[in-house]
Amino acid sequence: MEYNNNKQDLVWFAMSAPYCRELEAKRLLDNRSIENFIPMCYKVSVKQNKKTRVLVPAIHNLIFVRTTRTIIKETKRQISILQYITRTDNGKNIPVIVPDMQMQQFITVSKTNSEQLIYLRPEEINLKKGTRVRILGGTFDGVEGIFVKIKGIRSRRVVVVIPGITAVVTAEIQPDLIEVISQS
């Protein structure tokens, strides 16, 4: 079954597919022509003493789905492994919706599948110490994030954050490609 999403109502839902079934959820969503995104990365896999690079989900159980509220409710009934990631608001659990601009920047960084990318949980980084910046040129042209020092990494990096869900740390960026965004 194919769905016709109304462009005005499309939003990115942060969702979970427990027990590492995010790729299965992706396949089922793709079959329904529902836009989705799983951040992927390369890992070294060893089978029978043979090493190979394999593209795997960077964050298990996480999938972002871009659709309308009506379609996601219907889809969740048909794809039981999909669950909302929620935040609490006045005692109610509200599905986490990621703003389009933030999601596009996260996708821009994540789609490079670079081995230098680092994915962090929100509690693993102190963004209060960072400076808001925009990258000018190169692979990450136009991406905005926080320029911070990451523990265990020599140089400062730009971090693109989806609050409460995850953050992705870019590969090293040349200082002349970084513009400080004024804090108004």
pLDDT digits (tens, 9 = 90+) for 155-171: 888 999 898 899 999 88
User: Do 44 and 110 fall within a single domain?
Assistant: no
pLDDT at 17: 97
User: Do 80 and 116 fall within a single domain?
Assistant: no
pLDDT at 5: 54
pLDDT at 8: 57
User: Do 85 and 36 fall within a single domain?
Assistant: yes
pLDDT at 124: 78
User: Do 93 and 14 fall within a single domain?
Assistant: yes
**Residue range(s) defining the domain that contains residue 142:** 101-180
* Boundary of a domain, candidates 75, 98, 121: 98
Stated pTM of the model: 0.86
| Number of domains making up the chain | 2
pLDDT at 3: 53
User: Do 13 and 33 fall within a single domain?
Assistant: yes
d(CA 116, CA 170): 7
Contacts 24+ apart (CB under 8 A), 17-23: 17/61, 17/62, 17/63, 17/81, 17/82, 17/83, 18/61, 18/81, 18/83, 19/61, 19/81, 20/57, 20/60, 20/61, 21/61, 21/81, 22/57, 22/60, 22/61, 22/62, 22/63, 23/57
d(CA 124, CA 128): 12
User: Do 71 and 16 fall within a single domain?
Assistant: yes
pLDDT at 149: 84
* CATH at residue 83: 3.30.70
Residue from 48, 49, 13 nearest 34 by CA: 13
b or e along 11-37 (b: 16 or more beta carbons within 10 Å of the residue's beta carbon)? bbbbbbbeeebbeebbebbeebebebb
User: Do 110 and 89 fall within a single domain?
Assistant: no
* Tens digits of pLDDT across the chain (184 residues): 445 555 558 999 999 999 999 999 999 999 999 999 999 998 888 989 999 999 999 999 999 999 999 999 999 999 999 999 999 999 999 999 999 999 999 999 999 877 788 898 877 777 777 889 999 988 899 999 998 888 888 888 899 989 889 999 988 888 889 999 976 5
User: Do 77 and 117 fall within a single domain?
Assistant: no
